Amino acid sequence: MNEHPQSETLFDEYALGVIEGEELHALRAHLQMCEECSRKAEQARARITLIGLASPPATPSPAVRQRLLESVRPLARRPEVLPVRVASRPWVVPALAVAAVALACLTGFLLIRNQQLSLRLESLESSQTQVRAIEQRQQATAKRSRAVLDLLSSHSTIKVSLAAVKARPVPQGKAFYSPEKGLVFYATNLPHLPIDRTYQLWLLPKSGKPISAGIFETDKAGNGQILLPPLPRGIPAKAFAVTVEPEGGRPQPTGKMVLLGAAS
C-alpha cells in the first residue's frame, strides 16, 4: 500500500484489531514509511483507549446475548447485506451492549436535566409574578399618596374639626374636604366598639339627606381613618358627623352621634 488510506475509519479499525490478512500487512508497511498516517494511527489508538476507559464494562445477560445472536444469524446468511468477514469480528456484540448502556445513561441524564430546567423556569416565572404584584401595589400606594397630598394642598379644601363635649379623653376628628378632589378623615380617642358595631362617617350637605362617607374601625389607641371614599363630586358640605351603626353600616344614620363638626 503506497497510497494513503481512502477512509479515516481504517485507522480506528486498525486500532481495534479487526483488520486481517493482506490488508493488515499492507497497512503496516505503509505506516512504517508514512509519518502522517503513523500519527493518525496513534491518535486512533488513543481514542479507542479513552473510549474503553470511559465506558463501564457491560456483560449482556444470557437472554440478551441469545436474542442478539438470533438476530445476527439471519443476516449472516445473506452475503449481499452483511459480508461473512463481519461475523469474524467478536467485538460487535459487546460494543452494541456498551452503546446501549451509554445511550440509556445519556437519555436519563437528558430527562433529569430537562426536569431541572422546567423547575427553574417555573421558579423564575413565579418570581416574576411576585415582582409584578409588588410593583403594582407600590404604584397603587404611590398614586393614592399623591391624591391625598393633592387634596391636602388644594386651595379649595376645607378643614373641619369634629369633637365630643363630655367624653374623657376627648374624641376628636379632622376632615379635609374638597368638593372636586375628595375627602380625607382622621379620628382619635374613640372608644372601642363591640364586634357587631362600627363607626360611620357622614357628609351633611347644605341641602338633602346625609351622604355616607364610609365605615371605619379603630386601633387600640382609638385611632381611625378614611381616605378618599367614593363620594359624588361637587357636593358642598354643611357639616360632618360620626355615628355608631350596626356592622356593615347603614344607608342613613340610625345610631348615636359621637362626633360632629360644622364646615367653615
- Express as a percent the part of the chain with pLDDT over 90: 34
The answer to whether residue 247 sits within a structural domain is yes
Range with the poorest average pLDDT among 67-76, 87-96, 124-133, 235-244: 87-96
The answer to whether residue 131 sits within a structural domain is no
The Cα 164–Cα 63 span in angstroms is: 98
Q: What is the pLDDT of residues 142-197, one digit of tens each?
A: 888 888 888 877 888 888 887 665 656 789 999 999 999 999 999 999 999 999 99
The answer to whether residue 132 sits within a structural domain is no
Q: Which of 233, 258, 255 is nearest to 245 (CA)?
A: 255
Domain CATH code at residue 186: 2.60.40
Range with the poorest average pLDDT among 16-25, 32-41, 66-75, 85-94: 85-94
Q: What is the pLDDT of residue 12?
A: 74
* Number of separate domains in the chain: 1
Q: What is the pLDDT of residue 79?
A: 47
The answer to whether residue 17 sits within a structural domain is no
The answer to whether residue 188 sits within a structural domain is yes
Range of the domain at 216: 158-262
The answer to whether residue 217 sits within a structural domain is yes
Q: What is the pLDDT of residue 238?
A: 95
- Spell out where the chain has E strands: 158-163, 172-178, 182-188, 197-205, 211-216, 224-227, 237-246, 257-262
The answer to whether residue 55 sits within a structural domain is no
The answer to whether residue 235 sits within a structural domain is yes
Q: What is the pLDDT of residues 69-124, one digit of tens each?
A: 666 555 445 444 444 444 445 555 555 555 665 666 666 667 776 777 777 777 77
Q: Which of helix, strand or coil describes residue 19?
A: coil
